[in-house]
A and B are shown apart, each in its own frame.
Chain A
Amino acid sequence: MVYFIFSVLISFIITVGLIVVYLAITRVQIADDKKTKDAYSKAIQMIVDARIASLHIIKNAHVKALQILENSAIFNKDLRREVENSLEHLTNKHMETLDNLSRELEQSYDRAVNEQKDKDIHSLESASETMKSEILEEVKDFKDTLHKETLASQDLVEQKVKEEYEKIRKEIEDYKNLEIKKVDENMYSIVQEAVKKILNKGIDLDTHEQLVIESLEEAKKEGVFKQ
């Protein structure tokens, strides 16, 4: 009878402890999603530890109960078998409870992991979108800056080219004017010399004769001979 009460008490304590652990884990899960994974790992470890501890306690209780029973004067073989059966039944039931609890915990953990995974994926997607926007914005800014810089450079180059062009144009114009001035200065003598050379060789005697007679006619018209 003492053994039975003792076993029930032990089972009750273990069960309460497991429930407390489960509630603590659940609270931790609700309180901090980031610590969920660690909490579940700890919870599973605690369940495993509790299981090992409970098995150890039951085993000890069993041993102690057997010792007590063996020492008891009223203990007989039938009672012993009954106690052993009850103990075995209790152990099996307890194991079953622990298995159920463990399964439930694993399922809860899986759910939490899946939810976290979904959240992570969503966060990742969101972060990806944000990064994409930021990168696009950066690229746009860079592009705008580059465009502005390019335009500025282009303007600068155009300005330089224009200045150089004006400078060269002025040099050419000056050179041209100088050469024209030289030609102007020498043109008269050059052309006259050219014409002289051409005419000296090119005018035949008949033309000379005609020119002389025409000049005499001209002189007559002008009254050179009316004196």
Chain B
Amino acid sequence: MKLVLTAQEKAKLMEEIDQLSESLYKTKDKGFERVYDKMILIKPLLDNEASISPDTTMLGHQLSHIKEIVNNIDPVKITIAVVPDENLTQKIKEWAERNLGDKVILDIKTDYSILGGSRIIYKGIFKDYSINSLLSSYFKDYHNVSQLPR
């Protein structure tokens, strides 16, 4: 199961899982079949499963399992200097899948003050690779104008 998602996607996925879980015990328009057709994120996950259990209880377990897996993924919090468009988001996701595996949650936020690059928080570790940080480090080494490199 590949789970490389943004934080928004994760929330949407969780919502879908909840709706689908509720639909297991309802009929007609609110029944599983109808609701499942409307799903976007969970669908690929379930379709890719070799066997979607026709058993309601088993299906409920499957959804709970996926939910548990997603909730157990530590998000990679990334702060960048622009509002990411679809293309940028996709590139970050591709990089994450290539380098971090198939279960990654990317919590991408925007802070214009960092100017460029990114700040990354993962499992409580903070790393600042922003241009703002580079500038601060650069000027920290010089106490006056005369010491600046020519």
A1 contacts partner chain B, Cβ-Cβ < 8 Å: no
- The interface residues of chain A lying within 8 Å CB-to-CB of B50 are none
B117–A199 touching, CB < 8 Å: no
**Within the complex, which residue of B92, B127, B130 is in contact with A219, where a contact is CB–CB below 8 Å?**
B127
Instruction: Name B146's closest neighbour in chain A (CB-CB).
Output: A180
Q: Which residues of B contact A (CB under 8 A)?
A: 76, 78, 80-82, 85, 87-88, 91-92, 95-96, 99-100, 112-113, 115-118, 120, 122-123, 125, 127, 129-132, 135-136, 139, 143-146
Q: Give the top 3 A-B pairs by smallest Cβ distance, nearest first.
A: A215-B129, A184-B144, A215-B118
Instruction: Name A225's closest neighbour in chain B (CB-CB).
Output: B100
**Chain A contacts with B in 175-201, Cβ cutoff 8 A:** 180-181, 183-184, 187-188, 191-192, 195-196, 199-200
- The interface residues of chain A lying within 8 Å CB-to-CB of B112 are 200
A216–B92 touching, CB < 8 Å: yes
B82–A227 touching, CB < 8 Å: no
B139–A211 touching, CB < 8 Å: no
B135–A195 touching, CB < 8 Å: yes
If the complex has contacts A222-B127, A225-B99, are A211 and B88 also in contact, measured as CB distance less than 8 A?
A: no
- The interface residues of chain A lying within 8 Å CB-to-CB of B145 are 180, 183-184, 187
A200–B115 touching, CB < 8 Å: yes
B117–A205 touching, CB < 8 Å: no
Instruction: Name A196's closest neighbour in chain B (CB-CB).
Output: B115
B99–A216 touching, CB < 8 Å: yes
Other contacts beyond A184-B144, A192-B136: 15, CB < 8 A = A184-B145, A187-B144, A188-B139, A196-B132, A199-B131, A200-B115, A203-B81, A209-B87, A211-B118, A213-B92, A213-B95, A214-B129, A215-B130, A216-B78, A225-B76
- The interface residues of chain B lying within 8 Å CB-to-CB of A219 are 120, 122, 127, 129
A81 contacts partner chain B, Cβ-Cβ < 8 Å: no
Instruction: Give Cα A209–Cα B100 distance, bound, in whole angstroms.
Output: 18
- The interface residues of chain A lying within 8 Å CB-to-CB of B82 are 205, 208
A212 contacts partner chain B, Cβ-Cβ < 8 Å: yes
If the complex has contacts A195-B115, A196-B132, are A208 and B92 also in contact, measured as CB distance less than 8 A?
A: no
- How many residues does chain A have at the interface if contact means C-beta atoms less than 8 Å apart? 30
Q: Which residues of A contact B (CB under 8 A)?
A: 180-181, 183-184, 187-188, 191-192, 195-196, 199-200, 203, 205, 207-209, 211-216, 218-220, 222, 224-225, 227
- The interface residues of chain A lying within 8 Å CB-to-CB of B99 are 216, 220, 225
If the complex has contacts A199-B115, A218-B129, are A208 and B135 also in contact, measured as CB distance less than 8 A?
A: no
B120–A216 touching, CB < 8 Å: yes
CB distance from B129 to the nearest CB of A (A): 3
- The interface residues of chain A lying within 8 Å CB-to-CB of B117 are 211-212, 214-215
